[in-house]
Amino acid sequence: MLLERSALVKGTLLEVQRTCGNPGCKCARGQKHSCSQLSASVEGKTRTWNVPRRYIAKVKELTGNYRRFRRARAVWVRLNAEMRERINEMEAVRAVADFRDECRRQKRCS
Ligand SMILES: [Zn+2]
């Protein structure tokens, strides 16, 4: 998942019901227009883009790529943190504060 090359698009595809503002339109009598929008948080703000019908399938695929990538990334980041902790423990167990202690200890043993 992390090593794939496919493009990633952040966001969720939404089906939105809207009125167009024309008082003579059917939407003014309750039959709203339906359109697809991509919604995503960009630098802390929610942004939306209209998605033309012909792009819907592709956008679904691309946002799916992003979601799967993010899941895989979260697992990788967690494993990395665990590995780092184990490595720190290994170092702490073996680290010697004063080389002379270690030299004397080796002398006694040999
Ligand atoms: Zn309308």
Kindly state whether residue 2 falls inside one of the protein's structural domains.
no
The residues that bridge with 48 in the sheet, in sequence order, are 39
pLDDT in tens, 44-79: 999 999 999 999 999 999 999 999 999 999 999 999
Confirm whether 95 is domain-assigned.
Answer: yes
Question: Can you give the residue range of the structural domain that contains 86?
Answer: 12-109
5 within a domain of the structure (yes/no)? no
Say if 38 falls within a structural domain: yes
Q: Say how many Å lie between the CA of residue 102 and the centre of ligand 1.
A: 84
Query: How many angstroms does the Cα of residue 30 sit away from the middle of ligand 1?
Result: 9
Based on the structure, what is the number of domains in the chain?
1
Taking 80 as the threshold, does the pLDDT of residue 20 lie above it?
yes
Cα 44 to ligand 1 centre (Å):
32
Could you tell me if residue 77 is inside a domain? yes
CA distance 13 to 63: 8
Tally of CB atoms within 10 A around 10: 15
Q: Is residue 1 part of a domain?
A: no
